Chains A and B, each alone.
Chain A
Amino acid sequence: MPHFPKPAEGSWTAHYPQLGTAPVSYEDSISPAYFEREREAIFARSWLNVGRVEQLPRKGSYFSKELDAARTSVVIVRGTDDEVRAFHNICRHRGNKLVWQDYPGEETAGVCRQFTCKYHGWRYSLEGDLTFVQQEGEFFDLDKADYGLAPVRCEVWEGFIFVNLDKSDSTPLRDYLGELARGIEGYPFGEMTQVYKYRAEVGSNWKLFIDAFTEFYHAPVLHARQAVSAEAQKLQGFGYEALHYAIDGPHGMVSSWGGMSPPKDLNMVKPIERVLHSGLFGPWEAPIEIDELPPGLNPARAPQWGEDSFLFFPNFMILIWKPNWYLTYHYWPTAYNKHIFEGTLYFVPPRDVRERLGQELAAVTFKEYALQDGNTLEATQTMLESRAVTQFPLGDQEILLRHLHHVTHEWVDDYEKAH
């Protein structure tokens, strides 16, 4: 007997009949050849979130972003006209990477008046125009207007900066993100500027980590020891049921209850949480009042609501928590069996030490959980690669994984049919 109502069809999965209910194969996560197809069909042609506008506080602020999966690097910059633009991170002269420090493969950020190539000193304005050529007279019929930086489509939604490497795709960002994104427009993301950002190299296919973070079926088991033991046993007895799932195009969301923030009983949580009033679900007391949540949050209008997780295909997640903070996840593939995971926590800047320590505890707790999740994945990747078993069942609480792999296949197949 479910604790929370399911759609009339009897299950969330049946509510989206295109997904089917059959066991699935993870061949798409263990095949080097399949990853090569994903590079072209997905990462070279979808909107990818590369950061937030707060990373570009003034004119001339810039940061670089490595997009291994699409075999390029981009630089994002705020121009003298305050526009945010993106360019391929390559000098038009001999192809040197334009913006980097010490290690060409590492991302960098800063403020500048112009970009100067380290190699021969060619300079570009913040708007991408070639402005200076060293010994220009040595070149043949060189018109600087023909050699500006190669632009990349760049659009901003609710302060999130996205790029799209596909020059032919005319879908605007907001249309691409669809209904689920529209439903959370107006959330005060811009007030949450106290940032913790974590980065890990994970030994698994990028989709397998998304799989781990779009189902909470694992939480009462894998993370059992994070709660005090009596509470952990109770949670395992209940298992996990979401309040709501929604799918729109390639994107999906899951809405969850939030029993720990604050806990019903202080004995449910560990001693330091009792003092600092914080934990995995974040600080118990919201730092700001939000008069009315955007309609896309807590879609079931459940009083137990605690958190919503959104997956914007292919590799960007936003988690919004009831006590007014949010998290983002990014999964940047570097090989079929490796990716860079980034988890970023955003809080309203603390007004005092009590709030500051509550945020510290939430951030530390995040890392403890994520380390457990990440290492489990490496164990999954290696065993899937054994191909000893090739078909795996998925439960109704795992609908978003089923959807992610389904959409991946759809994109790869559609692209290959068209090319």
Chain B
Amino acid sequence: MATLPTEFADLEPFSDWCLEFERERYAKRLSSSMDEMQAFYDAAFPRLEAIIEYLDRFDLNALPEDASHLLWLSYSLVNVSFPIEVWRQPRVPDSGAASMDVIVEPAV
């Protein structure tokens, strides 16, 4: 189980969103209910500024493990912002069975 910096212990219930790769984040989004994502968004979105401030104390390429988890959680927040803020559903509307895979993504 991923562990977050103590300053962000309030987000610990959502640590299953600490996912390193886009493929995992997108899969979790598609398999989550809107209620689950809304709860995550409502907890994490108001903390986003604080997360950025906290993480920017470190060198992006030398983050401690718990800070990396927090960064991955932020990537998940970015991903679920679409179902929550725009689509009101997990999938892109009218996207049917279409899929688009990440084949290269940044290491950090």
Contacts and interface: CB of A to CB of B under 8 A. Distances in A.
B7 interface: no
Chain A residues touching B, majority SS: helix
B106 A195 contact: yes
Given A196-B106, A272-B78, A354-B56, A372 B92 contact: yes
Interface string A7-39: 000000000000000000000000000000000
Interface residues of B, number: 34
B60 A352 contact: yes
B14 interface: no
Nearest to B58: A353
Given A275-B48, A371-B95, A200 B102 contact: no
Contacts of B100: 198-200, 341, 343, 367, 370-371, 374
A353 B55 contact: yes
Nearest to A200: B100
A200 B101 contact: yes
A201 to B, nearest CB: 8
Interface range, A side: 35 or more
A82 to B, nearest CB: 23
A360 B73 CA distance: 12
B101 A199 contact: yes
A260 to B, nearest CB: 14
Given A225-B87, A371-B100, A364 B94 contact: no
Nearest to A359: B106
B1 interface: no
A50 to B, nearest CB: 15
Interface in B93-108: 93-96, 98-106, 108
B86 A375 contact: no
A334 to B, nearest CB: 16
Interface in A303-357: 341, 343-344, 350-354, 356-357
* Nearest 7 Cβ contacts at the A-B interface: A197-B104, A353-B55, A272-B81, A200-B100, A375-B98, A371-B95, A371-B92
10 contacts: A194-B106, A197-B104, A198-B103, A202-B98, A344-B104, A353-B51, A359-B106, A361-B81, A371-B99, A374-B100
